[in-house]
Structure 1
Amino acid sequence: MARAGWDAGGGGWEWRRRLFAWEEEGVRDCVNLLHNIVLQDNIQDQWRWLLDPIHGYTVKGTYCFLTNTEVPVTDAVGLDVWHKCVPSKVSVFAWRLLQDRVATRANLVRRRVLQAVDNLCVGGCGYPETADHLFIQCTSFGQVWYLVCQWLGIPCVFQGSVKRHFLQFSQMAGMTRPSHDFMKVIWLACVWAIWKERNNCVFNLLVTNPINIFERVKLLSFLWLSSNVASFSFGFHDWWRYPRFCMGIM
Structure 2
Amino acid sequence: MGAHQSSDFVDLWKLKIPTKSLVFAWRLIRDRLPTKMNLSRRQVTVNDLMCPFCGGAMEEAAHLFFSCSKIQPLWWESLSWVNLLTALPQNPRDYYLQHVLGYVEGKKQIRWRCWWIAMTSTIWKHRNKIVFHNDTLDGSKLIEEAVLLLWTWIKVMEKDFAIHFNQWSSNIKEAFSN
TM above 0.5, yes or no, is: yes
User: Among 229, 233, 245, which residue is 2:158 paired with?
Assistant: 229
**Aligned pairs for 1:54-133 within 5 A:** 71-72=3-4, 74-115=5-46, 118-133=48-63
Residue matched to 1:164: 94
- CA-to-aligned-CA distance 1:133-189 (integer Å, 9 cap, x gap): 111111112332122223x1523331111111111122243x223321010111110
Q: Which has the higher contact order (CA 8 A, sep 6+)?
A: 2
Aligned residues: 176
Deviant stretches of 4+, over 6 Å: none
1:185 aligns with 2:114: yes
Letter in 2 for 1:208: L
Identity of aligned residues (%): 26
Q: Kindly indicate which of the two structures has a greater share of residues assigned to helix.
A: 2
Describe the shift of the 1:98–1:225 C-alpha distance in structure 2 as closer, same or farther (beyond 3 A). Answer: same
Q: d(CA) in 2 for partners of 1:126 and 1:246? A: 35
| 1:135–1:191 Cα contact (<8 Å) kept | yes
CA contact (8 A) 2:15 2:110 kept: no
Q: Does 1:216 align with 2:145?
A: yes
Q: TM-score, normalised by structure 2?
A: 0.88
Aligned residue type for 1:220: L
Q: 1:142 aligns with which of 41, 66, 72?
A: 72
Contact 1:105–1:114 (CA under 8 A) maintained in structure 2: no
The answer to whether the Cα contact below 8 Å between 2:52 and 2:130 also exists between their aligned partners in 1 is: yes
Q: Is the contact between residue 108 and residue 175 of structure 2 (CA under 8 Å) also seen in structure 1?
A: no
Contact 2:155 2:162 in 1 (8 A): yes
Q: Does 1:204 align with 2:133?
A: yes
Any idea what the Cα deviations from partners look like across 1:3-30, whole Å, max 9, x if unmatched?
xxxxxxxxxxxxxxxxxxxxxxxxxxxx
Structure possessing the higher radius of gyration over alpha carbons: 1
| TM-score under structure 1 length normalisation | 0.65
Q: Is the 8 A contact 1:78 1:98 kept in 2?
A: no
In 1, the alpha carbon distance for the partners of 2:63 and 2:173 equals 28
C-alpha distance in 1 between matches for 2:160 and 2:101: 21
Q: How well do the aligned residues superpose, as a CA RMSD in angstroms?
A: 2.0
Query: In the TM superposition, what is the alpha-carbon distance from 1:236 to its structure 2 partner?
Result: 1.2
Instruction: Tell me the amino acid that sits aligned with residue 90 of structure 1.
Output: S
Which amino acid counterpart does residue 237 of structure 1 have in structure 2?
Answer: N
Structure 1 segments unaligned to the other structure (5+ residues)? 1-69
| Structure 2 unaligned regions, length at least 5 | none
**One-letter code of the match for 2:84?**
P
